[in-house]
Every structure is written in structure tokens, then in C-alpha cells.
């Protein structure tokens, strides 16, 4: 049996394009899964902090943050967020930037690694991004993260202990070092089967196409081996 295609995704919880890219990837994979000879795919999420110097409790809204971080006028930031909201809607996501509570995301990344160890990383990534962009939840404090972890079936006490002890912080740093070695300077970034790099929130069709291509490249080898 042919090994699954591995898709490694570098992203940040607080990156609006990362959630859009996540949903487009899922929609693209769903499309090819309905075809004849559907490819087997294994998706793993990796940590990338866009703004590691952000305080846990940022004093201001998303426009304040981006205005200061990017040096852009508020009006320009508002236009940019309106555009992102529109693109998100096209992907089936309902963003509410007016409720977003900007925060440091390192603990959320630690939680993603804890969830990965428990076999719940995909559910955890979805819950964190939805909480941040749709619900306006605070995803930088341990108490809130424990609540979100419990919602996807993770053990409260185990998660709290892992976050308080920084058990998975080395794994976060390892992901970041890997991103640096790949030359990744922005997210989302997708590494397909260790040989194709895809940058940005590409349309679902693009993800479907490259998945078909990689699977087709593997098929002749698999047939030859069986012969």
C-alpha cells in the first residue's frame, strides 16, 4: 500500500490567512477524496509565531495592533481587514475582527503539540482558530486554553500541567527552527511530501491539483513494485 502524502503546515493561531489556508486545504482534500483512487493524506500542523514579542494582554483592538505593528494608517488597516473578511467568507469562515483579542500565541502552540500527542491536533487547531477569529475568545491564557482543550476531549488536568510546565515548548521551538532552515518567512506555508513548498492561502483547487500530481507521481512506482 502506498504511504500517505505528508502535508506539513506552518501557521500561527493569530494569522487570518492561516485559517483561510487551513479551510481551503481541507476543501481541496475533500474534493480529491471523492475521486477514483483517492490519495491518502496525512496533515500535520507546525508552530510559527508571527509576533512573538506580543504581550499576553494587548491593550487595544486588532486595528490598533496592526497600525502599530505594520505602521499603517487605521483607515488602511480597516480596508485590509474588510478584504480579509471577504476572502474568509468565500472559504466559509465568518471573521469578526471587531471582537478579536490580540495576544501572544506561544501557549496556544504548546497546546497544539499537546493535542498532537493525544491524537487531537486537527480538532484543536480548528477550535483555537475559531475561538480567536469567530468568537473573539482570549487564546493566550492557560485557563482559557484548558477550557478549549476540554471541548475537544482533552484532559483538563493533563493539559494544565503541560502548559504550566512548558512541557511542549521545546517542540514549538523545534518547529520554528525547522521553518528557519526551510527559509520560511511568512505563513501559512505548506510543505508537500517534503519536496514541494506552497506559500500562502491558495485556493482549494490548487491544493487539490498538487495533491493529485503528487499521488500520480507515486502511482507508477507503486505499480512497478507490485509487479
218 — pLDDT class (breaks 50, 70, 90): confident
| CATH number for the domain running over 5-21+35-226 | 3.40.30.10
pLDDT tens digits, 1-14 = 679 999 999 999 99
* Mean pLDDT score across all residues of the chain: 94
pTM, whole model, 2 decimals? 0.94
pLDDT tens digits, 150-161 = 999 999 999 999
pLDDT at residue number 220: 61
Work out the burial of residue 221: count CB atoms within 10 Å of its CB; fewer than 13 is exposed, 13-18 middle, 19 or more buried.
Answer: exposed
What would the mean pLDDT of 188-196 be, rounded to a whole number? 96
d(CA 103, CA 110) in angstroms, rounded, equals 14
pLDDT at residue number 1: 63
pLDDT tens digits, 30-85 = 999 999 989 999 999 999 999 999 999 999 988 999 888 778 899 999 999 999 99
Do 77 and 40 contact (CB within 8 A), yes or no? Answer: no
What's the CA angle centered on 27, arms 153 and 22, to 5 degrees? 60
pLDDT tens digits, 115-146 = 999 999 999 999 999 999 999 999 999 999 99
Domain boundaries defined on the chain:
5-21+35-226
Question: Would you say residue 27 has pLDDT above 50?
Answer: yes
Amino acid at each position: 500500500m502506498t504511504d500517505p502524502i505528508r502535508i506539513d503546515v506552518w501557521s500561527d493561531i493569530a494569522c487570518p490567512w492561516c485559517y483561510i489556508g487551513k479551510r481551503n486545504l481541507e476543501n481541496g482534500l475533500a474534493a480529491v477524496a471523492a475521486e477514483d483512487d483517492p490519495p491518502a493524506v496525512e496533515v500535520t500542523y507546525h508552530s510559527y509565531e508571527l509576533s512573538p514579542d506580543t504581550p499576553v494582554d494587548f491593550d487595544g483592538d486588532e486595528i490598533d495592533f496592526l497600525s502599530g505593528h505594520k505602521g499603517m494608517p487605521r483607515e488602511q488597516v480597516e480596508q485590509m481587514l474588510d478584504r480579509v473578511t471577504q476572502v474568509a467568507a468565500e472559504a466559509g469562515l465568518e471573521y469578526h475582527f471587531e471582537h478579536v483579542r490580540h495576544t501572544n500565541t506561544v501557549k496556544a502552540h504548546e497546546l497544539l503539540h499537546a493535542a498532537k500527542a493525544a491524537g487531537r491536533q486537527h480538532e484543536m487547531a480548528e477550535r483555537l482558530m475559531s475561538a480567536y477569529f469567530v468568537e473573539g475568545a482570549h487564546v493566550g491564557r492557560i485557563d482559557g486554553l484548558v477550557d478549549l482543550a476540554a471541548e475537544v476531549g482533552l484532559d483538563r488536568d493533563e493539559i494544565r500541567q503541560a502548559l504550566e510546565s512548558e512541557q511542549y515548548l521545546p517542540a514549538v521551538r523545534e518547529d520554528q527552527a525547522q521553518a528557519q532552515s526551510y527559509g520560511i518567512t511568512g505563513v501559512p506555508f505548506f510543505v508537500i511530501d517534503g519536496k514541494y513548498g506552497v506559500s500562502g492561502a491558495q485556493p482549494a483547487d490548487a491544493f487539490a491539483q498538487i495533491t493529485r500530481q503528487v499521488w500520480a507521481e507515486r502511482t507508477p512506482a507503486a505499480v512497478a513494485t507490485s509487479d
